[in-house]
Amino acid sequence: MKYTSQAVAKPYFIGAMGLFVAQVLFGLIMGLQYVIGDFLFPHIPFNVARMVHTNALIVWLLMGFMGSAYYLVPEEAETELHSPKLALILFWVFLIAAALTVIGYLAVPYATLARITGNDLLPTMGREFLEQPTITKIGIVIVALGFLYNLSMTFLKGRKTAINTVLMIGLWGLAIFFLFSFYNPHNLVKDKFYWWWVVHLWVEGVWELILGAILAFVLIKVTGVDREVIEKWLYVIITLALVSGMVGTGHHYFWIGAPEFWQWWGSVFSALEPVPFFAMTLFAFNMVNRRRREHPNRAATLWALGTGVMAFLGAGVWGFLHTLAPVNFYTHGTQITAAHGHMAFYGAYVMVVITMISYSMPLMRGRAANSNKAQVVEMWAFWLMTVAMVFITLFLTAAGILQVWLQRVSDTPLGFMATQDQISLFYWMREVAGVVFLIGVVTYLVSFFIKGEERAA
């Protein structure tokens, strides 16, 4: 950690981990509600638990990206952060806004929350992942602008590197596409069409730039391979990501009323979306094999390699599974989508934030890496979480295949609830895997508090 102002990343990472635990807990609640329908009803109905689960995920990933950026940009730009004070203020604003929103979800019925937060003035609530009250959305925009101002000033006055450039493009893109969440037309088709400009162009567009930049930064530090090689590959990978991801948005436009040419464009381009993740995995393993130093933080290296593999599996393979229009016709809106969602989010974005935390936390606490004992526990956490997530995905995929067969493909289709009863076995198994995942998360958090022989900073 070359610059003292990089330490401002620590609260962001701690906040991110806190929300991560909350997200997993509410995930477990929902998992149980899938099999015991009235669990915690009416106190926490399913839709409320889901809002907390999905919103907590997005907020803690954003916090993770912000923390990573606050750590990475000064070091890359070789200059102190423009204003650490502003960064801390924005952290508390963001955390409090998120906390208030979650309390709002839990304390009052959603319709009441909409009324008391004046949603009618500028209605943006009630859409998946964008359930936050309009005032919270405005708060997010303010925090994002402050964050981007702070980083851009740092970026402009320091050394320009490809990693910083790509990260800043990704973060500015993230803020700009979020503005589409304020567009909520009466026309349902246009509402959904531009809703995807927030969701898809985030996770299969600009977030892949952020993912690439963070992974490249960690790989340079961990492998010692010279910057030139890694930055060339970074540009190739993110170009593949944008070229395939941009028009790849079409795979969401098959069945929502958009013209039918999207079925061809969406299928062709989204079929190419696994290519950047495959290139990223190749790139990560290649760099680690050609490493020129043995970095003491082996856990961070494991997370970085894991990110490549799981991103390719979750986002690439499981995405391709149901991205072609003729297949998607049957799997659209089934558990197959949920399976892809889980492993893609975990493999691509959860793991890259954890990679950055694993790499930078020891440095912010004054040592190159945690003790050997702590790293072993951390690696246990890696395998517990990753294997548990693979099983969650496998169980949901099995549930999805059976659901597609029973409810969509068979000549005598079952109703929705009848089908759900048939696949409840997989929901039970998914819940067990979810508990194992929580154990993995707790193990990961514990690994930060395990003492052992100190390593030189």
Among 23, 33, 360, 443, binds another protein (CB under 8 A): 33
Which CB sits closer to another protein, 202 or 253? 253
User: Interface with another protein includes 192 (CB under 8 A)?
Assistant: yes
**Any residues with CB less than 8 A from the CB of 283 and at least 6 apart, and which?**
219, 230, 233, 237, 308
Calculate the CA 446 to chain-centre distance.
22
Binding residues among 317-336 for another protein as defined by CB under 8 A: 329-330, 332-335
SS3 state of residue 362: helix
- Residues whose CB is less than 8 angstroms from the CB of residue 243 and which lie 6 or more positions away in sequence, other chains included: 269, 272
Q: Which of 50, 82, 342, 430 binds another protein (CB under 8 A)?
A: 50
Under the binding rule (CB under 8 A), the answer on residue 118 touching another protein is: no
- Selected from 21, 28, 36, 176, the binder of another protein by CB under 8 A is 36
Site for another protein in 280-309 (CB under 8 A): none
Are the beta carbons of 283 and 237 closer than 8 angstroms? yes
Q: Is residue 226 a contact residue for another protein (CB under 8 A)?
A: no
d(CA 51, CA 170): 25
Q: How far is the CB of 56 from another protein (least distance, A)?
A: 14
152 touching another protein, by CB under 8 A: no
Which residues inside 339-398 make contact with another protein, applying CB under 8 A? none
193 scored as a contact of another protein (CB under 8 A): yes
DSSP assignment letter at 323 = T
**Is position 116 an interface residue for another protein (rule: CB under 8 A)?**
no
Annotate 163-189 with b (16+ C-beta within 10 A) or e (fewer): bbbbbbbbbbbbbebbebbeebeeeee
Determine contact, residues 255/332, Cβ cutoff 8 Å: yes
How many whole angstroms separate alpha carbon 406 and alpha carbon 7?
54
Q: Between 8 and 396, name the residue whose CB sits nearer to another protein.
A: 396
- Cβ proximity to another protein: between 139 and 173 the closer is 173
The rounded distance, in Å, linking the Cα atoms of 86 and 140 is: 15
User: Under a CB-based contact definition with an 8 Å cutoff, are residues 15 and 65 in contact?
Assistant: no
Shortest Å, Cβ 103 to another protein:
16
Among 48, 144, 148, 151, binds another protein (CB under 8 A): 48
Whether the bond between 259 and the residue before it is cis, its omega within 30 degrees of 0, is no
Q: Tell me the C-alpha distance between 311 and 237, whole Å.
A: 13
Nearer to another protein, 299 or 406 (CB): 406
Q: In terms of residues, how long is the chain?
A: 457
Among 121, 289, 292, 417, binds another protein (CB under 8 A): 417
1 binds another protein (CB under 8 A): no
CB of 320 to another protein, least distance (A): 12
Shortest gap between Cβ of 183 and another protein (angstroms)? 13
Regarding 242 and contact with another protein (CB under 8 A), the answer is: yes
HEC readout, 379-395: HHHHHHHHHHHHHHHHH
d(CA 88, CA 9): 9
Min dist. Cβ of residue 246 to another protein (A): 4
Shortest separation between residue 341's beta carbon and another protein, angstroms: 10
- How far is residue 19's CA from residue 378's CA, in Å, rounded to a whole number? 19
Token match 């952020």: residue?
210
Binding-site member from 22, 98, 114, 310 for another protein (CB under 8 A): 114
Site for another protein in 92-111 (CB under 8 A): 109-111
User: Residues 172, 182, 183, 235: which binds another protein (CB under 8 A)?
Assistant: 235
Site track for another protein across 244-263, x = CB under 8 A: --xx-xx-xxxxxxxxxxxx
Among 189, 368, 435, 457, the residue binding another protein under the rule CB under 8 A is 189
51 or 280: whose CB is closer to another protein?
51
For another protein, the closer of residues 184 and 355 by Cβ is 184
Residue number, 6 or 244, with CB nearest to another protein: 244
Cβ nearer to another protein, comparing 155 with 193: 193
Query: Helix (H, G, I), strand (E, B), or coil: what is residue 339?
Result: helix
* DSSP codes, 174-229: HHHHHGGGG---S-HHHHHHHHHHHHHHIIIIIHHHHHHHHHHHHHHHHH---HHH
* Binding-site size, another protein (CB under 8 A): 87
Should residue 408 be labelled a site residue for another protein when binding is judged by CB under 8 A?
yes
Stretch that binds another protein, among 136-144, 267-275, 368-376, 378-386 (CB under 8 A): 267-275
Rounded Cα distance between 287 and 305, Å, is 10
Cβ-proximal residues to 264 (8 Å cutoff; 6+ apart), any chain: 325
